[in-house]
Amino acid sequence: MRISDCGSDNVWVQCFPMTLESLRQQIREYDQQYRQGKPLISDAEYDRLFQELKRLEQQGREPIPVDSPTQQVGDAPISPSEKRVRHNMPMLSIENSYNIDELREFGKRVKKSLDNEPTWTVELKIDGVAISLIYENGSLIQGLTRGNGIEGDDISHNLHMVIDIPKTIANKNRIEVRGEVYMRNCDLAKLNEEQQERGDKIYKNARNLTAGTISLKDPNEETDKKKKLEILAEHERRKLRFFAHSVGSYEGIQAKTHWDFLQELAVLGIPITPCAKLFASFDEAVEYCEAFHNDDHLSDLDFEIDGLVLKVNDFSQREQLGATGHHPRWAIAYKVERYEAITVLRAITVQVGKTGTITPVAELEPVEIAGTTVSRASLHNAEEIERKDIRIGDVVVVEKAGKIIPRIVRVEKHLRQKEWEPFVFPTACPECGGAVSKDEDGVYIRCNNARCPAQFKEKLRYFASRNAMDIEGLGEKLIEQLVDSGVLRTFGDLYRLDAESLKGLERMGEKSAGNLLESIEQSKNRELSKLLNALSIRHVGNRTATLLAEHFGSLDRLRRAAEIEIAEVDEVGPAIAKSVFEFFQREKEMLDDLLEASRFACGSQPSGIPRAGRLSNMTIVVTGTLQHFKRTEIEGIIESHSGKVSSSVSSKTAFVLVGENPGSKLAKAEKLGVRIVSEAEFLAMLEH
């Protein structure tokens, strides 16, 4: 049994009665398999095992052997025959963390060891091969791998393969620059296309190919002219690149901080790690790390990363913090476990939403990710499919963003068995056959037919949802039956339903029908903001619906308002005003029919909540998991009481509503002295 089969954080303790030495040997075997491009366990599993070994060694009474994996840095030598060179300064590894709590503990240790609060840089952790470049008198004279951290392999003969490493720079001092050699995904795909054409094996991933490429034999050592030309040709095909991320020896460097050092390198023409950011405090850096993996633009990167690296910015503070034999005390890697898998795209279907948006959906060969089976994933829009070049039949990498929402990260183009046809987006609505059009200055394609049955089904589903009219029992399958049978053609028809019209429908007995009709009756008393949200007016959600209801006070006043009047509402701009105005002009008959059938009691503000609500003029931040409410529900309650929900804490925040497992917003609130309110306190506040 492999350790990865055990499924426990305390992996080997749970699964194996190992001695310390056998555990060390197990880790050495994993290291060897990883270097050969055949990893047996994930990075997270390996790190947990590694941390467990460190913990046990520190608790033990025996001295730690010098050949223990905890005392080693970097990779094994490329080969016994290669030249080994001693680094001017040790080239250490970086401590890893997999959650925000571990990051905070690291930040506390650093702060405790320094007199002044440091500034921080955050950079992408490039998944490549670490090397060191040495320039002297303006010329590149040597390149070394990390090796064991003390000595590295001389790879100077292969630096010509790294496209963007400058051979000369405008600085005559001796400068040592450290960074990552990597291969772009598009270059890997092109190389594999050539491999297929030649009938050769394809390469599985960019990182392993980079490691193998940088260690290729020096063609100048080949005496056979033909073989030498073949080696040179192979070098030419493998296009490697470089990002600088660290300084080695300080000679020739004017900068006093890491951020200034990166700028200095950029002026010299040395490519620096992209997307680097500078933060004034550790809390700000952590907040960025929390949000990092939700940023959709990361899928646009054409190279592999496996996390972020946080570094103390000031060089003098780094010297004060020092290093262990394994890693510096001034840097840490934040590595989030990837919940992803590889599968096959079997088909692309399209769905029509409540505002007519035609959304493509990937139909996948079912695959398990983070404990659930994934068979579908949204492709968002036509431009997304074209940008990622997604085709039916492709092998794709699917990720569960935040363990919840499946999405296609990329296509493994090097595994494309043949040239599949590009997907052709529908030129007419797939449901009603009506005309479609693309949003002006947007990416979405919509069905223009307001009476499209598919749109109406989605609108009905949203109309009945909890954030709208909250009609319990009106589920998706019942909506399908009612619309397909012609019983429901408009919103008004919903309020004309009776027991007779529901008779004979699937899973609709006398009791179920009675409950549904009672819930529909109760919905007539919903406040105006709920009705406005329920109507699926484009650009109008909970917040905007509440603002419109508070400003106009009745549906009749809003329907008669001019576009310019609507635009004067706080937080309602010209685009929203235009959408609202045009909706009421276009849907006059539908609204008249709905109001006649329902006799809504929402012409004015709901009883019990004055125009200036209990939370009027308060900006409130919500963080953590609440016991009684979903996030959208609590935000709706805040807005219905005239409060404003914000995603970030500032000195203007009235209070932070805190649930279980709060994020960095709690720490920031405490630092700024902002009031902290529990869920129970919040509910009591509303009651009183």
Catalytic residues: 125
* Residue type present at position 537: I
Sheet bearing 95-97, strands edge to edge: 95-97, 331-334, 305-312, 120-126, 277-279
Q: Does residue 165 contact residue 159 with C-beta atoms inside 8 Å? A: yes
CB atoms closer than 10 angstroms to residue 55: 12
Q: Give the Cα separation of 374 and 384 in Å (integer).
A: 20
Contact 624, 663 (CB under 8 A): yes
Rounded CA separation 682/656 (Å): 10
How far apart, in Å, are the Cα atoms of 30 and each of 5, 14, 15, 496, 662?
14, 19, 17, 68, 36
Q: Please state, in angstroms and rounded to a whole number, the distance separating the CA atoms of residues 245 and 650.
A: 32
Residue in 594, 572, 646 with CA at minimum distance from that of residue 489:
594
Q: Collapsing DSSP states into helix, strand and coil, what is residue 511?
A: helix
What are the E-state strand segments in 262-404? Answer: 277-279, 305-312, 331-334, 340-352, 358-369, 372-378, 395-401
Question: What is the edge-to-edge ordering of all strands in the sheet holding 241-247?
Answer: 139-145, 129-136, 175-182, 241-247
Specify the DSSP element, H or E, that contains 303. none
What's 159's DSSP letter?
A: G
**3-state SS string for 96-155:** EECCHHHHHHHHHHHHHHCCCCCCEEEEEEECCEEEEEEEECCEEEEEEECCCCCEEEEC
Record the tokens describing residue 307, joined without a space. Answer: 């996390």
344 vs 65: CA distance, rounded Å: 47
Residue 35 φ then ψ, to 5°: -65, -25
> How would you class 87 by CB atoms within 10 Å of its CB: exposed for 0-12, middle for 13-18, buried for 19 or more?
buried
Buried b / exposed e over 227-242, threshold 16 CB at 10 Å, is ebeebeeebeebbbbb
Q: Which residue has the tokens 């960095």?
A: 664
472 with 514: CB under 8 angstroms? no
Q: Specify whether the CB–CB gap between 56 and 20 falls below 8 A.
A: yes
99: left (phi over 0), alpha (psi -120 to 50) or beta: beta
Q: Which residue has the tokens 């006070």?
A: 553
Distance (Å, whole) CA 146 – CA 179 = 10
- Closest of 116, 109, 147, 119 to residue 131, by C-alpha: 147
